[in-house]
């Protein structure tokens, strides 16, 4: 899907890209070869690739920015937390395990509660999404923007696991969205946010999330001109529910999803 072009000018973004690529190399060696899969306490899978990739990220970024801490999916919190890197070494581990090529390394920088940098790297497809607060969103070095669709009847609505939406109590709201949209598709994980940020879809609904799932794609969508909130409309990565849109349809999507007046 094209090579990585462009070179991030900001040193924080450049370091995050370098760490994501290093983690991607580790993950790809396992992806092409073999690995053992174990289940964590929440019944989600984890592999050696997840752990080694996160260790590579923390080593590289720790050397570059020794005063900043980490929040990672595999190893939790480490170091100072006011400014910290938020890491998902393999977003889409279930896809990774089954050799479905929709997975990515996710890295974000959170400064005093605000995500200011985001990197999403899929080493299988060579897709690199980058965003830095105030500097726009890019895919492989090219600027990306959300769509300008303003009518729900023209919108494409994306979703992740439907069972999770049902269990979270938002099934009726999701059906309301489906009923008024032009098209629905189930592109989950990082990929759905990328499609919204690139203007290829207008709405993405996801639940059962952790901060490391959301942090880098939040700034990606926002810097592309869209909005990302929880289901109550708060711009947070800590609720577990996420609605990402092109911005123009956000309020209506929230109303349909939650049944609010």
Q: What residues act catalytically?
A: 73, 88, 90-91, 93, 213
Evaluated on CA atoms 151, 156, 158, 162, the torsion sign reads positive
215: Cα separation from own chain's centroid: 7
SS3 of 165-188: the string is: HHHCCCHHHHHHHHHHCCEEECCC
Q: Which of 109, 100, 62, 108 minimizes the C-alpha distance to 188?
A: 100
Q: Are 122 and 29 in contact (CB under 8 A)?
A: no
Pairing of strands 69-72, 83-91: parallel
């Amino acid at each position: 899907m094209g090579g990585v072009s462009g070179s991030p000018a900001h040193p924080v973004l450049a370091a995050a890209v370098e760490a994501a690529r290093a983690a991607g190399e580790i993950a790809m060696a396992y992806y092409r070869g073999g690995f053992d899969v174990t289940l964590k306490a929440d019944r989600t899978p984890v592999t050696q690739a997840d752990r080694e990739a996160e260790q590579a990220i923390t080593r590289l970024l720790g050397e570059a920015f020794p005063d900043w801490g980490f929040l990672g999916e595999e190893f939790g919190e480490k170091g100072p937390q006011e400014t910290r890197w938020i890491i998902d070494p393999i977003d889409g581990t279930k896809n990774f395990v089954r050799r479905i090529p929709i997975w990515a390394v996710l890295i974000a920088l959170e400064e005093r509660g605000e995500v200011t940098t985001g990197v999403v790297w899929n080493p299988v497809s060579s897709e690199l999404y980058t965003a830095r607060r105030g500097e726009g969103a890019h895919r492989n070095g090219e600027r990306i923007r959300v769509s300008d669709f303003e009518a729900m009847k023209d919108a494409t609505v994306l979703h992740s696991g439907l069972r999770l939406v049902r269990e979270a109590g938002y099934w009726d709201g999701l059906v309301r969205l489906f009923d008024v949209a032009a098209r629905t598709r189930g592109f989950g994980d990082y990929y759905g946010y990328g499609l919204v940020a690139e203007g290829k879809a207008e709405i993405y609904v996801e639940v059962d999330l952790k901060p490391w799932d959301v942090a880098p794609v939040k700034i990606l969508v926002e810097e592309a001109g869209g909005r990302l909130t929880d289901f109550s409309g708060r711009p947070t990565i800590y609720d577990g529910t996420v609605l990402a849109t092109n911005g123009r349809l956000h309020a209506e999507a929230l109303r349909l999803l939650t049944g609010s007046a």
